[in-house]
Structure 1
Amino acid sequence: MATHFSFTKPQLDALPFPAPGERVIYHDTHKNAAGLQLRVTSTGKTFFIQRRVDGKPERVTIGKFPDYSIENARKEAARLTALIAQGINPNTDARALKTETTLQELFDNFLQHRRNKRGAFLSEKTKRSYRYDFGLYLSKWSKRKLSQLKDTDFSNLHTEIGKEHPTTANRVIAMASSLFSYANEERLFKGANPASGIKKYPENPRARFLQSDELPAFFSALAEESNETLRDYFLISLLTGARRSNVQEMQWSQISFDRAEWRIPTTKNGEPQTVALTAEALEILRNRKTDNTDVWVFPGTGATGHIVEPKKAWKRVLERAGIDDLRIHDLRRTLGSWQAKTGASLAIVGKSLNHKSPSTTAIYARLDIDPVRESVDRATGAMLAAAGVKPIGGVVELKAKLKKQQR
């Protein structure tokens, strides 16, 4: 059979396989062939081109037939021929691609070695969040080499997620951009960041907190919660306004009953925080301390040793209270809102919640904990009074009051 002809699929399908160890080369004579050839062995049929690069013969493999159609093979042969004409060796790029970092390898490296501007490694909470988002949205590309990911991949992903979850879409793209920035810093990747420059969706700041008319039902629902650890966790979250991760990771060694303080060694903004504990918060903690010999104030059964995700209990509380659209984080905002309601300045609110912004940092630095404590006392007192579990100006044994409500 002739070895030079214009390739067609029926002809290539009909080509016989030679004996093991032998091969036959066929040449495409089509006007758009661009030097396309087919190598047939006992194991298969493969498209390729043969060219001289830097004076040396170089064979560049295109792909298997019939997985690669004749038309696509001709187009690829033309593209490769054009690269060679520019002095570029396609095989060199292909060999480099084999050793290039994959997205999964980059992600693992990032979690292990990435440091923030202050030189600290990523927190475990941040790592958990990154792993969740990566697994849900980026793991489908985990085996791709970094140079194979394009800006259109990320812009399309942003659009897809943003149809229902714009804030999540922004967060995922921000993480992807951070990954590629890190890759550039560590010389794992050369080229433009494919996840940068994507226009973010507008995000409306959340302003949800417990209103006066919701507090009685909320406290009544808490009183009916059978899991005392989670009930106390929700109460301490409300009475301290601390971030949920900090409350989950609260340790007895951080509590001073004498000073009525909780010292958090590291918070989200990278700085420690001293939280003023009200009489009601101290009462809850003292009751827990009596029965609790664990390191953690709110122990759990998972690998961390403390509670991690109390979604089921939170859902039960909200259903009993008949309250919609309230998140655990909204308890933090609730304290701040009630502080503002009871006359606290924004600086006091910011200090108690450990907010950090350039415009108010200098003010926070001059505040001690006493005015913060007074503000938290007034705010929690007003909330408990609105809930019907505390007379105005009085101090209540909160756990006992809740038990009475439950009965």
Structure 2
Amino acid sequence: MYGGEMQAKKAEVIPMPGAAAQPGKRKTILCRESEVDAVPLGTGDWTIADVPGLILRAGTTKKTWRVQRRVNGKLATKVLGELTAATAKRQASLVWQRLKPPAPDGKITLGEAWQRYLGEKPLAPATRRLYEYNVKKYLRDWAGRSLEQIGQDRAGVRALYLTLVRKHGKALASQVLRQFRATYNYQRRVNPELPECPTIAVDIAPVKPRDWALSDEELRAWWAGVQRLRPLKRTFWQVLLLTGARRGSVEALRWRDVDFDCGLIAFSTAKAGRIYSIPGCARLLELLRAWREQAPPGSEWVFESSKKPGYHIVAARDDKRGVVSAHHLRHTYRTVLAQLGCPPDSARLLLGHSLGGDVSRGYITAALVVESLRPWAEAVAAKYSEILGW
């Protein structure tokens, strides 16, 4: 068969699920809830472009997931069933690794151990992307080496660290080595015959707390910059200020997450997959009500992207306009809580942090104490009003 005929028989890729299924065409989508919801029933199999081996089956009455991987020339399949896109993605990474025959003890490579770690640990999406980037960017030459070999090469690991320090700085070098250490030790739990983690030969720089909270003067300068932004961004930054939430949590906020009747806001996209609710102060709820009147009608997102309708904004930044990062506002919120005398556990709940290792804190059901946090949320808003002259 000639090359031209071969190309003619290759499956054509459909980038989005807008059209009905057509025979002979390979249909692909990204593993996002919005794209999965848009897939019509009865359209058959859809390949998930950003997750290896993951397939969505759109039957006549329901949508189910499965993972496929070719092993030793044969197609191995594992049915996952009916799941959300996020759960399917998380389970698929784990199943993808398990479908491959296990390497002999100690012979697993760093690259394989890295993928296993990402598949089994409940990491936040941003953390997962950082792990994937670092292993490809800085550990590419090490990914094919076995953990057993690396474990016996302390001098090589120290040399790697010093090279990274020289080329990229101590902070990044320490980040890469901490991720390597976490991956290596995670695999060592399964195979205790592995040598001690070779990072013992490296003095990894500790992570230093950052003094990022804004002073009253800096907060007023920030507010001046925010007031010059378009309405969406102006509202977005005020929500960050009044909640102390992570940027990604506010970017992915849906209108269904805002309960105006009860005065509660649920953040469903938080670190390590945690979901938490906070009481919205009166100013915040008033702000969101006003924004709902201006926002695109029918959109599920509180902050829908103007460049990509149907999706929320991503990686919002306005530092060139004098608006500092969202994490500065998170530090500021926590600092104001401390100034007001807020108890540590209440502050943790407001910021969506875990309650720590104290066993007694494990008996606290966050959802039942959320209303007790409202006075603190109102007190922070009052402090901001005093500083900014609202």
Give the structure-1-normalised TM-score. Answer: 0.59
Cα pair 2:258 2:264 within 8 Å, conserved: yes
Per-residue CA shift, 1:59-113, capped at 9, x if unaligned? Answer: xxxxxxxxxxxxxxxxxxxxxxxxxxxxxxxxxxxxx99x9544334333432x3
Equivalence for 1:211: 215
Amino acid paired to 2:126: K
Equivalence for 2:24: none
Query: Superposition pairs for residues 344-355 of structure 1, below 5 Å?
Result: 344-355=342-353
Unaligned runs of 5+ residues in structure 2 are 1-102
Cα pair 2:155 2:201 within 8 Å, conserved: no
Aligned counterpart in structure 2 of residue 257 of structure 1, from 236, 253, 260? 260
Per-residue CA shift, 1:219-260, capped at 9, x if unaligned? Answer: 11001123x433332221111011222222222222111111
Cα pair 2:253 2:302 within 8 Å, conserved: yes
Give the number of the structure whose alpha-carbon radius of gyration is greater.
1
Cα pair 2:264 2:279 within 8 Å, conserved: yes
How far 1:269 moved relative to its partner? 5.5
How far 1:191 moved relative to its partner? 3.9
Query: Superposition pairs for residues 269-348 of structure 1, below 5 Å?
Result: 271-290=274-293, 291-292=295-296, 293-300=298-305, 305-311=311-317, 313-318=318-323, 326-348=324-346
Whole-angstrom distance in 2 between the partners of 1:114 and 1:213: 45
When residues 202 and 278 of structure 1 are mapped into structure 2, their CA distance, relative to the original with a 3 A threshold, is same
Query: Superposition pairs for residues 136-147 of structure 1, below 5 Å?
Result: 136-147=137-148
Amino acid paired to 2:339: K
Whole-angstrom distance in 2 between the partners of 1:288 and 1:278: 16
Cα pair 1:166 1:203 within 8 Å, conserved: no
Cα pair 1:339 1:379 within 8 Å, conserved: yes
Check if 1:361 corresponds to 2:348.
no
Amino acid paired to 2:361: T
Aligned counterpart in structure 2 of residue 198 of structure 1, from 199, 202, 216? 202
Cα pair 1:335 1:380 within 8 Å, conserved: no
Query: Superposition pairs for residues 96-245 of structure 1, below 5 Å?
Result: 100-111=107-118, 113-115=119-121, 121-149=122-150, 150-162=153-165, 165-185=169-189, 190-196=194-200, 198-226=202-230, 228-245=231-248
When residues 307 and 151 of structure 1 are mapped into structure 2, their CA distance, relative to the original with a 3 A threshold, is farther
Cα RMSD of the aligned pairs, angstroms, is 3.4
Amino acid paired to 1:264: F
Whole-angstrom distance in 2 between the partners of 1:195 and 1:296: 44
Equivalence for 2:387: 386
When residues 147 and 255 of structure 1 are mapped into structure 2, their CA distance, relative to the original with a 3 A threshold, is same
Amino acid paired to 1:104: G
Deviates most, 257-266 or 330-339 = 257-266
Amino acid paired to 1:222: V
Cα pair 2:251 2:313 within 8 Å, conserved: yes
Per-residue CA shift, 1:141-190, capped at 9, x if unaligned? Answer: 33444444332333233334446644433322121122223444555994
Secondary structure of 1:175 counterpart: helix
Cα pair 1:237 1:331 within 8 Å, conserved: yes
Whole-angstrom distance in 1 between the partners of 2:247 and 2:117: 25
Per-residue CA shift, 1:11-55, capped at 9, x if unaligned? Answer: xxxxxxxxxxxxxxxxxxxxxxxxxxxxxxxxxxxxxxxxxxxxx
Whole-angstrom distance in 2 between the partners of 1:212 and 1:335: 12
Cα pair 1:219 1:387 within 8 Å, conserved: yes
How far 1:352 moved relative to its partner? 1.4
Secondary structure of 1:263 counterpart: strand
Whole-angstrom distance in 1 between the partners of 2:362 and 2:146: 46
Unaligned runs of 5+ residues in structure 1 are 1-95, 116-120, 319-325, 391-407
Amino acid paired to 1:179: T
Secondary structure of 1:305 counterpart: coil
Cα pair 2:108 2:146 within 8 Å, conserved: yes
Cα pair 1:225 1:317 within 8 Å, conserved: no
Whole-angstrom distance in 2 between the partners of 1:103 and 1:126: 18
Whole-angstrom distance in 1 between the partners of 2:308 and 2:171: 29
Cα pair 1:350 1:364 within 8 Å, conserved: no
How far 1:132 moved relative to its partner? 2.7
Amino acid paired to 2:114: F
How far 1:199 moved relative to its partner? 2.8
Per-residue CA shift, 1:357-405, capped at 9, x if unaligned? Answer: 23483696587233421111111221122112x1xxxxxxxxxxxxxxx
When residues 127 and 204 of structure 1 are mapped into structure 2, their CA distance, relative to the original with a 3 A threshold, is closer
When residues 221 and 252 of structure 1 are mapped into structure 2, their CA distance, relative to the original with a 3 A threshold, is same
Whole-angstrom distance in 1 between the partners of 2:113 and 2:309: 26
Cα pair 2:240 2:250 within 8 Å, conserved: yes
Whole-angstrom distance in 2 between the partners of 1:130 and 1:297: 30
Cα pair 2:221 2:322 within 8 Å, conserved: no
Amino acid paired to 2:300: V
Query: Superposition pairs for residues 49-128 of structure 1, below 5 Å?
Result: 100-111=107-118, 113-115=119-121, 121-128=122-129
Equivalence for 2:75: none
Amino acid paired to 1:289: R
Whole-angstrom distance in 2 between the partners of 1:280 and 1:357: 31
